[in-house]
Amino acid sequence: MNASAGFTLARKLRDGETVFGGWCTLPYPLVTELLGQDGFPAVVLDQQHGFWDTASLVAAIAAAHHSGTAPIVRIPIGDFAMVSRALDFGAAGIIAPMINTAADARALAAAAKFPPLGERSWGPQGALRFSGTADAKSYLRKANDLTVTFAMIETRAALDNLDAILAPPGIDGVFVGPFDLSITLAGGKTIDPESKEVDAALTKILKAAATADKLTGVYCHSAKRARALAKRGFRFITAGTDTSFLRAGVSAVLDELKA
């Protein structure tokens, strides 16, 4: 029994590869499947701001594996119970928003990793199917290495506590939310994910992650921005949302019709 290609993301990132992903807010497994079939090696299923419920999430994780892409779940704020559930369903990774303190990071690691790194509860019904393991003991031995756990850096508090957030062994890396970060750094006065303040924060985050030997990820709203941040050293980068892809496609068709 071979592991799904969706469980190669952790190895790729730890080997230093750059992985671009799509971002899914629409609660339709078909969208996830299409993004995988069309070439994205990873897709983020956004439960924080997207429309995913548990049933659609389970179906989308399976659709992602079947299309050869890695399903990553962004949980709602503070919903650490969903961390282990999503991993049980077969998620290849977790992105947790608003991780602002060392305590937040430890809680995330505890939910995401089996002992000795964490306290993840046993029950990986979907993960066993997609992981290619012959039995439960085999899965347990390699589960912590099969998945990636990202703590989101989105606030000034998170920047101040960056080293402490990176420290727990069960935290594989940090994932930057540049829109929220720009809002907090501007004191709520504006939103600019490419501001000088955000740019300086990105440099700080890359340096701290390199020192801690941890992974780095970032949300980007365009392919151009994704390429630029890949050159800076980020390794897991999303390059737009399903809704932006849809609107761009419609706009292109309408422009052609008007030509």
The residues annotated as belonging to the active site are 49
Neighbours of 243 (CB within 10 A): 14
Contact assessment for residue 44 and residue 69, using Cβ atoms and an 8 Å cutoff: no
Residue that the structure tokens 């079939």 belong to: 37
Residue that the structure tokens 């990202």 belong to: 150
Burial class (CB in 10 A: 0-12, 13-18, 19+), 156: middle
* Bridge partners (DSSP) listed for residue 48: none
Dist CA 108 CA 237 (whole Å):
21
Burial class (CB in 10 A: 0-12, 13-18, 19+), 3: middle
Taking the CA atoms of residue 249, residue 191, residue 42 and residue 156 in that order, the dihedral angle to the nearest 10 degrees is: 180
Q: What share of the chain is helix, strand, coil (3-state, %, to 5)?
A: 50, 15, 30
